[in-house]
Structure 1
Amino acid sequence: MGKAAAPCSGSGGIASILSAVPCLSCKPQSDVDGTMSEQGKGSASSTAGAPAPGSDTYKGWLFKWTNYLKGYQRRWFVLSNGLLSYYRTQAEMAHTCRGTINLATAHIDTEDACNIVLSSGGRTYHLKASSEVERQRWVTALELAKAKAIRMMHDQSDDSGDEEPTSQSDRSEIQGTLKTLASKLDDLSTCNDLIAKHGAALQRSLSELEGLRVPLEGGEKIKAVNERATLFRITSNAMINACRDFLDLAETHSRRWQRALQHEREQRIRLEETIEQLAKQHNSLERAWREAPVLSASTPTAPAPEKAGSERPQKGEASDEDEDTEYFDAMEDSPAFITVTATDHTQHRRSVSNLSGASGGQPNDWHQDDNVSPTCNDLSSGKELQLRRRRRTRIPDKPNYSLNLWSIMKNCIGKELSKIPMPVNFNEPLSMLQRLTEDLEYHELLDKAARCESSLEQLCYVAAFSVSSYSTTVHRTAKPFNPLLGETYELDRMDEYGYRSLCEQVSHHPPAAAHHVLSRRGWTLWQEITIASKFRGKYLSIMPLGAIHLQFHSTGNHYVWRKVTSTVHNIIVGKLWIDQSGDIDIVNHRTKETCQLKFSPYSYFSRDVPRKVTGVVTDSEGQAHYILSGTWDDKIESSKIVQSSRGGSGSEGKQKTVYQTLSPKLLWKKYPLPENAENMYFFSSLALTLNELEEGVGPTDSRLRPDQRLMEAGRWDEANVEKQRLEEKQRAVRRRREAEAAEALEEGREYEGYQPLWFHKRMDAVTGESSFVYKGGYWETKEKHDWSMCPQIF
């Protein structure tokens, strides 16, 4: 093979060997870095950067396979120290690496004249070069780097290997330690010689004593002392030998310790730099979002195609170029799936126009009135209804009281949250019963579901409703008031929205609340929620236990699901933030249709969009009909499946299913927060009205709770005093009840115990579980204005 006219310079390592291969980087710049022609797009073009003399670093352009929508994309690859890393552009080398493969454990394969396949640890890169010669240059460089990486890995496990370069301070520290150990060993050797010398003299003296004529008893004692002296000398010699072996071992492994220590320090520094960079990016994104909220709100739902040469990262592009693809996480016990929007087969590029017109000529079973965003219709109708009864739109601003949460909770690690005495400083002026009622903020989704003729379409709306209940928690890091036993909360919106809601605290330990909602628009919802929570030091886990039931009157469709786990992070230090994670399985027990929703936990190193939710709606036979996607703090969309096929195996060996869908339809969109919400506990418009005083409510209603009202008014010191009074009053009632139970037990009588006023425990025929359900009578009692049966809990 002849050399090129002007080969890349290099005198050693990869550079020296590759100098014999023609270098494409010596071509005119316009041939290499210019815009690709249409013919070039189908394959790839590559530019190998010239390595510096004596360097083992190799750089250049290759094309990397991303997904079936984008195909091969041009990326900048860097081969250095046995690692192959890639970036979108050369400028990204300073701050963002898109991926890395360790060649020491990688398998290198060549599919055809221009392709390279790298596999390592479940990760596979499909790469393309512009020519076979260029491909051979990269393959040669990769094989040499792999061989060197394997040698280095073996050297690290072998004592005869070369030491990795470490700092002078590290070497001095280790060498000083070894010198100290050597001097101490010399001291021990000196002591050993002295012990041997004096021991020998002692034994000679004892032998002389044995030769003297002494009583028999004295001779036995001298013999015993002689044996002990011998044992002492043997033990001393063993100790000195063990110390010498220890020093030899320390010298033998000193280089390994040195390398391990340096590696850990480098890893720590690299991680600190990465976290610092992520924090800066996070702050800049937050600042950009605050400064341009209108721009961020108008961002199209479908990602625009990537422009060639563009270096400005789009939304969600912080970790890899594959973040805006349609790869969904695999659900539990169901195949993984990929969704592809149905488009004209003559189109090779995905665009917003394709998505908007994809359903042209396709059958659509959605209601015509659902083509408009439900939030738009309901916002306008809501404003008209507000004219009937004006409700408050603000509460007093939150006082700026500072209190260290860790100073209170450091002694409560592992305890139930309900058993921790917390001041109101960490509360919000709402009870848990009112927070439970907030699930109804997007009740119009159930109104729409009640009008659906298709049960599968209805299930999509029910799923969107189950996700919408978490949208109010994204900024709500304060805890609600723990309700007192027997405390109730009613929300009567019959005239405005056609529903009535009633909650009652039915148990105190464990804390449990029963909830019942009746709508004259065709649905009934009921649930019993028990809160299990554990404080783990750095974070707080809140696990809602209990099932949520929803039944539609016209069809009898009965849906059941359970809530996911909520986690409050940064308890010790930093800004508090909340995450939702887990799976929700919504089951229609009449038709056996299901919807599986997956709430992806947030991770600094994840490629997914934060707060991501994905789901699939299947019929009783397991056939998928709809794909759900979105985030629990913003919106949920649904895409109808028109075709499915089996794809290739994923990284975990699971076979993927490729779904072709119609354009996504918006099911739910979060309402914007009211103005000045950050100073009003980040309450939504509904939450601002929940604690508003109303006439005719029961005497146990949360609106009348004195400590909660004082806190809302900003009088926190008085609220703390009142909170302690109410809790002590509740404890006194419980002690009295326990005494009555003990007395009944002694007398052989049955003691019924505490019974809720408006709910009673019944066995559910659908789930087979025992739970509290509404037994009626509350609204009739309210009409009569007769609350004589209610306890005085406040």
Structure 2
Amino acid sequence: MDCCPITDDSADEEPTSQSDHSEIQGTLKTLASKLDDLSTCNDLIAKHGAALQRSLSELETLRVPLEGGEKIKAVNERATLFRITSNAMINACRDFLNLAESHSRRWQRVLQHEREQRTHLEETIEQLAKQHNSLERAWREVPAHAVNTPEIPTSTTGVSARPRKEEASDEDEDTEYFDAMEDSPAFITVTATDPSQHRRSQSNLSGASGGQPNDWNQEDNCSVSSNDFSGKDLQPHRKRRTQIPEKPNYSLNLWSIMKNCIGKELSKIPMPVNFNEPLSMLQRLTEDLEYHELLDKAARCENSLEQMCLVAAFSVSSYSTTVHRTAKPFNPLLGETYELDRLEEFGYRSLCEQVSHHPPAAAHHVMSQRGWTLWQEITIASKFRGKYLSIMPLGAIHLQFHASGNHYVWRKVTSTVHNIIVGKLWIDQSGDIDIVNHRTKETCQLKFSPYSYFSREVPRKVAGVVKDSDGQAHYILSGTWDDKMESAKIVQSSRGSSSSEGKQKTVYQTLTPKLLWKKYPLPENAENMYYFSSLALTLNEEEEGVCWTDSRLRPDQRLMEAGRWDEANVEKQRLEEKQRATRRRREAEASKNIEEGQGFEGYRPLWFHQRTDEMTGETIYVYKGGYWEAKERQEWSTCPDIF
């Protein structure tokens, strides 16, 4: 989104992970020396300036010829100017001193942080070395007949005890993962070579519903291999478009528009299409289905814990499209809909409707012939804070599998767009996702680590634990929200050392991680097409038979996609004014009915109605049916005229 007149690519650079302590220390010493020099010069200028002023004042009191007096007066005026300039320089030096001293303290803190991180890493390596030695001793003590049995490589992962939900926050560091280094030798778990011994050693981890968990290394219809999800496994029957008109190069001063909007709801700020992408929020919501095959595979899982891993990967995959997508989607008009009919290609149908305007809320329903149904109502709360924009999706996402009846519920994390005014825009995801299977009471806790300039961790990191109804951990999930997610089955757990906060960590020994999800590569020339994915390129493709409230038919969005932004801005203003006029007319009718003692009903969506959710106790909009039947009959007479 080319919306800032000033660019500062340095603001977007990743933090260096190779800080040279000696160089920092030397820089601090040099800076301290220069501060002393500046302080001395400051004192000397003040002292000599005052002495010069006194001497010139004394000369003016002497009896000298008229010409000499005028010269002395001119010199005194110049000295006064010099004093004023010197005072300005002294003040600037004082400001520099204060700034340099504050930065000196900051670098000292950074250096101390680096030292603590090094000490922490050394303790972790020492702990791993002790475990390695104990495993080697165990291997040497095994009878000779076990030497030729298959070996199971494992990695060791440490996880600290998680706090109670009410104690959690975005800045908690209570859950930490320490993966074995890539170049280190694989660990050997001897007790896992005999299946009967393996089961006995896992007696404390067998709390999964439906009996003993299946080992993902075995062949079953839910095992995940490294080749899964590397590309689309089904080819669509209909050829979809693979490109859209390239984005025009429009320059616009964002600050001139946004400076009076600080603290306001983003949905209430009138924005030109220059800050948008040619998709509506309903279409962006539908993009959550890009990796629907994860749910198709999860529906075939007989083991609910393995199913939970795939559901967790699906919940993370919806963020992969946001890493480059910093432009704002169109705010849907009240009553606007969007359908995505992929029944023939992929077995599902999706419908979204804008059910409320203030606050903006959209209801979404997906029905799949491959064994699952997904529904959600999302309300977007957003605040512009000057340097960054926080986007907080409110509302629960429900997923139910038809065969097992497993019902999963989770909520989205906070998205933050940085460098709104100056610099290159970039987006981050942070917070926790708690997924609950309400039938079995199994849980998955995912943590999206916020970006930190001083962190040595992988950017955009996501990590989590899958637990059964008794709280026993069975799988470790790890990866990044912009690339991939992996799962590793836990074969043994033990108490580790205490963290710096005094909390005891649990060390999990796991099998080799299995790939759950991998992001598809972006289409060619995506950088000039708003960084749309292959699915996003098809969302606004014209299609016959859709309802006349469908986002594909929205004229301002269509004009923007065609590159006619000036016309799109005019059309956007017309549509918004039409919506305001409709709202004023509805309010006038309601006021008239009240005056006449008659009842009135507020706005009612066409395809969704409000119900109390049994799982969360919240009042949400759920699909009441009828849309696809109306499409088959092409009967849209009850639909509002919003475009």
Q: How does the TM-score come out when normalised to structure 1?
A: 0.60
* Residues in 2 aligned to 1:520 and 1:184: alpha-carbon distance in whole angstroms: 93
In structure 2, relative to structure 1, the CA distance for the partners of 1:373 and 1:671 (3 Å cut) is farther
The answer to whether the 8 A contact 1:501-1:516 is kept is yes
User: 1:415: how far off?
Assistant: 0.5
- 2:100 corresponds, among 261, 265, 271, to 265
**Ranges of 4+ aligned residues in structure 1 off by more than 3 Å:** 91-97, 163-169, 174-185, 258-264, 266-275, 324-332, 334-341, 349-353, 355-364, 367-378
Aligned partner of 1:579 among 407, 424, 428: 428
* C-alpha displacement of 1:753: 1.1
Asked if residue 172 in structure 1 is aligned to residue 41 in structure 2, the reply is: yes
- Distance of 2:308 and 2:619 partners within structure 1: 25
Native 8 Å contact 1:781 1:787 kept in 2 = yes
CA distance in 1, matches of 2:274, 2:160: 40
**Aligned counterpart in structure 2 of residue 365 of structure 1, from 215, 239, 242:** 215
Q: Answer yes or no: is the 8 Å Cα contact 1:759–1:774 preserved in 2.
A: yes
> Which of 529, 533, 549 in structure 1 is aligned with 2:398?
549
8 Å contact 2:261–2:384 — kept in the other structure? Answer: yes
Q: Residue 538 of structure 1: CA displacement?
A: 0.2
> Which position in structure 2 is the counterpart of 1:333?
164
| 1:748 to partner: Cα distance | 1.6
Q: Deviations over 1:318-347 (max 9, x none)?
A: xxxxxx995557644287465667xxxxxx
1:702 alignment counterpart: 551
Specify whether residues 733 and 375 from structure 1 end up closer, same or farther in structure 2 by C-alpha distance, changes over 3 A only. farther
- Cα 1:338/1:702, change in 2 over 3 Å: closer
Find the structure with the greater CA-based Rg.
Answer: 1
Q: Which residue of 2 aligns with 1:719?
A: 568
How far apart are 1:621 and its partner, in Å? Answer: 1.1
Change (3 A) 1:333 1:179: farther
In the alignment, residue 169 of structure 1 is paired with which amino acid?
L
Aligned-partner Cα distance in 2 for 1:657–1:182? 72
Task: Specify the alignment match of 1:418 in structure 2.
Answer: 267
Q: Provide the rounded CA distance (Å) in 2 between the counterparts of 1:772 and 1:337.
A: 38
Judging changes above 3 Å, is the alpha-carbon distance between structure 1 residues 404 and 88 closer, same or farther for their aligned structure 2 residues? closer
| Distance in 2, Cα, partners of 1:178 & 1:736 | 76
Conserved? CA contact 2:488–2:511, under 8 Å: yes
Q: Which residue of 2 aligns with 1:381?
A: 233
Partner of residue 348, structure 2: 499
Question: Which of 509, 516, 528 is the aligned partner of 1:667?
Answer: 516
Contact kept in structure 2, 1:474 and 1:577, CA below 8 Å: yes
Q: Could you tell me how far 1:575 is from its partner in structure 2? A: 0.2
Q: 2:186 aligns with which of 354, 369, 378?
A: 354
For 2:289 and 2:546, locate their aligned partners in 1 and report how far apart those are by CA, in whole Å: 19
8 Å contact from structure 1 (residues 538, 569) kept in 2: yes
- Give the one of 651, 657, 675 matched to 2:500: 651
**What amino acid maps onto 2:164 in structure 1?**
D
Structure-2 change in CA distance of 1:714 and 1:329 (3 Å): farther
| Distance change in 2, residues 1:644/1:572 (3 Å) | same
Question: Cα deviations across residues 703-729 of structure 1 (Å, max 9, x unaligned)?
Answer: 000000000000001000000000000
Distance in 1, matches of 2:636 and 2:101, equals 70
Do the aligned residues in 2 keep the contact of 1:602 with 1:610 (CA within 8 Å)? Answer: yes
Q: What is the Cα deviation at residue 554 of structure 1?
A: 0.8
CA distance in 1, matches of 2:602, 2:364: 21
Over 3 Å counting, the alpha-carbon distance change for 1:731 and 1:272 in structure 2 is farther
Aligned partners of 2:230, 2:157: CA distance in 1, in Å?
30
Offset at residue 749 of structure 1 (A):
1.4
2: CA distance, partners of 1:679 / 1:88: 32
Structure 1 residues 364-389: Cα deviation after superposition (integer angstroms, max 9, x where no partner) = 6225455564765672523xx23x21
Provide the rounded CA distance (Å) in 1 between the counterparts of 2:501 and 2:413.
25
Instruction: Determine the C-alpha separation between the residues in 2 that align with 1:660 and 1:325.
Output: 5
Aligned-partner residue type, residue 462 of structure 1: V
Q: Does 1:566 pair with 2:415?
A: yes
CA gap 1:426/1:460 in 2 versus in 1, 3 angstroms: same
CA distance in 1 between partners of 2:156 and 2:613 (Å)? 43
1:731 aligns with 2:583: no
- Within 2, Cα distance between the matches of 1:96 and 1:389? 60
**Aligned match of 1:135:** none
Q: Provide closer, same or farther for how the CA distance between residues 659 and 534 of structure 1 changes in structure 2, counting only shifts above 3 A.
A: same
- The whole-number CA distance in structure 2 between the counterparts of 1:356 and 1:779 is 56
The letter for the 2-side match of 1:410 is K
CA distance in 2, matches of 1:780, 1:463: 33
Q: Deviations over 1:428-458 (max 9, x none)?
A: 0000000000000000111111111111111
Counterpart check, 1:533 vs 2:385: no
Distance apart, 1:654 and its partner CA:
0.7
Q: Secondary structure of 1:402's match? A: coil
Q: How many residues align?
A: 517
- Given that 1:568 and 1:578 are in contact with CA atoms closer than 8 Å, whether structure 2 keeps it comes out as yes
- Per the alignment, in what secondary structure is the counterpart of residue 786 of structure 1? coil
Distance 1:577 1:378, change over 3 A: closer
- Superposed CA deviations along residues 748-785 of structure 1, whole A, max 9, x for unmatched, are 21110110000000001111110000000000000111
**Matching residue of 1:53:** none
* Structure 2 residue 605 is matched with structure 1 residue 756: yes
Q: How many angstroms apart in 2 are the aligned matches of 1:88 and 1:536?
A: 29
| Inter-partner Cα distance in structure 2 for 1:357 and 1:611 | 31
**Does the Cα contact within 8 Å between 2:159 and 2:508 map onto a contact in 1?**
no
Pairwise CA RMSD? 3.5
Q: Deviations over 1:629-668 (max 9, x none)?
A: 0000000111111111111110111111111111101101
Q: 1:472 to 1:374 in 2, by over 3 A?
A: farther
Q: 1:260 to 1:478 in 2, by over 3 A?
A: closer
What SS class does the counterpart of residue 632 from structure 2 fall into?
helix
Distance 1:751 1:483 in 2: 25
CA distance 1:580–1:563, shift in 2 (3 Å)? same
| Percent identity between the two aligned chains | 72
Structure 2 residue runs without a partner (length 5+): 1-15, 55-92, 111-127, 129-154, 166-173, 199-213
> Using a 3 Å threshold, how does the CA distance of structure 1 residues 670 and 473 change in structure 2: closer, same or farther?
same
Q: How does 1:104-123 map to 2 (within 5 A)?
A: none
Name which of 487, 507, 517 aligns with 2:366: 517
TM-score by length of 2: 0.74
Q: Distance in 1 between matches of 2:387 and 2:612?
A: 39
Q: Which residue of 2 aligns with 1:466?
A: 315
Q: Per the alignment, do residues 413 and 170 of structure 1 end up closer, same or farther by CA in structure 2, a change over 3 Å counting?
A: same
Relative to 1, partners in 2 of residues 1:392 and 1:94: Cα closer, same or farther, differing over 3 Å? farther
Pair 1:495–1:353, CA change in 2 (3 A)? farther
Does 2:455 correspond to 1:614?
Answer: no
Counterpart for residue 52 of structure 1: none
Match for residue 485 of structure 1?
A: 334
Q: Secondary structure at 1:381's aligned position in 2? A: coil
Query: Which 5+ residue runs of structure 1 have no aligned equivalent?
Result: 1-86, 103-148, 150-162, 186-257, 276-304, 306-323, 342-348
- For 1:360 and 1:680, the matched residues in 2 are separated by 52
Q: Quote how far apart the aligned CAs of 1:266 are.
A: 5.3
Aligned counterpart in structure 1 of residue 445 of structure 2, from 596, 600, 612: 596
